[in-house]
Amino acid sequence: MTNISDRDRTEPTTGRMLGGRYRLDALIGRGGMASVYRGFDVSLGRPVAVKVFGEATEGIDDAGRRASEIALLASVEHRALVRLYDAAHDAGSSREYFVMELVEGHDLRAALQHGPLDAADAADLLADLGEALHVIHSRGIVHRDVKPANVLLEPAHLPSRRWNAKLADFGIARLIDDARITRTGLLVGTPGYLSPEQVSGAAPGSAADVYSLGLLMLEARTGRRAFPGPAAEAASARLVRDPEVPGELGSDWVELLTRMTAREPAARPTALEVAVAATALARTSPGRASEPADVESESETSSLAPTVVLDATAPVGAPQTAEPESVPEPEPEPTGPTRVLPAHPGAPTVPSDLHSPAGASGTRPVGSARPGSPKPSRRRPVLIVVVLAIATVAIVLAVHAAITAATGGDQSEPTPLPPIPAELDPLGEHLQQLDEAVRG
């Protein structure tokens, strides 16, 4: 029979209610400071994660301080942070507990048991965690315990990545008094990922989280811890040497991880700089740059997309480039409607629609302009009127000459010619001079 320790006797068990609201359903995991349960918030009807701390971590029994810290931590919201819903003291077990967002998935510690991450997955992970640290650092919060067990991985919904990373347990040091933790020999942080300043006993700042994240990523890429061995030996080793970053990771990774794990806090990049650098690494990771071309989006076939001139002489698979300035003029449509060409350059074009059957598609009224064609000149109708007027006068003269010849050349007063139409008045003196020349 397994012996049950005193701690297990006093620790809340499954099925118990905490604060009259949170039911403990199943044990998810247990660490050196606390046990995590899958729970259920009966007030809001949602699943939650409940973290119950050990007896040594007393310190949030001050109701006023607890309320202010919970309000601060609960206001920090980001997709890469596990949200804190509540924190309280359970009178029945004399334990402190946190109520947090329940993330379906597994932690990074379990993922690394199957081997190191490739460059693309590691870059996505680092971008998420760097951005999460930047958010809490901007609110004056230092995590102080960045480690694989505090990185939760939930399945991603995009084909370009396997999962999304969420950072858990931020703000524990703010809610739990450091003095009450350290008096029993405990320390906020895990020896394998502590920064040099934490090992030396100095108050850690945001740079300490960047250092711990650097050790975490180095382990994620190589599959092994940077400072192995017993806790005391591993912790003190980082005071005298920097971790080794293998060159086969690539120059960009080597430079970034070397800066993140510098012993001097001032030499390390900020969390925001880490996130920006990781985003650039994610774009250039092997196998990631060609992904957008493999997935055809609707926007690529949209009518608003730029015209691409295909080169018929190019080999199959050769990239085609858009050349908007060298697009050739379209050839005449071989099956287009028949057009009546003008008799001379100045004559108007007769629309081909006159020969089309009634009701045919694309027909236009006679004289209507073709879409996109320039507006007709105002001089052309005047020229047509002049030509018609001259032709009319010529016809009248010819008829008059024929009548004169038939009557034997009668010398009587010639029959006056019909007057010039009123609509031809704009022709002015030219038509009048022509009329007088004919009569004389």
Catalytic residue numbers read 145
Strand-pair partners of 22: 18, 41
What is the residue-wise DSSP string for 190-254?
A: -GGG--HHHHTTPPP-HHHHHHHHHHHHHHHHHSS-SS-SSHHHHHHHTTT-PPP--GGG-HHHH
Task: Report which DSSP code applies to 301.
Answer: G
Let me know: does 163 contact 105? Beta carbons within 8 Å.
yes
| Assigned token pair, 44 | 């809001």
Q: How far is CA 16 from CA 33, 392, 434, in A?
A: 20, 113, 119
Give me the torsion for CA of 241, 247, 248, 251, rounded to 10°: 120
Which secondary-structure segment (H or E) carries 398? helix 379-406
| Assigned token pair, 138 | 């901007």
In three-state secondary structure terms, 289 is coil
Which pairing describes strands 46-53 and 84-90: parallel, antiparallel, or unpaired? unpaired
Cα–Cα nearest to 73, from 172, 145, 146:
172
Q: How far is CA 194 from CA 144, 172, 201, 281, in A?
A: 8, 16, 11, 25
Task: Report which DSSP code applies to 64.
Answer: H
Let me know: does 100 contact 38? Beta carbons within 8 Å.
no
**Cβ-based neighbour number of residue 148 at 10 Å:** 19
**In whole angstroms, what is the distance from residue 413 CA to residue 406 CA?**
16
Written as one letter, the residue type at 76 is V
**In whole angstroms, what is the distance from residue 147 CA to residue 394 CA?**
107
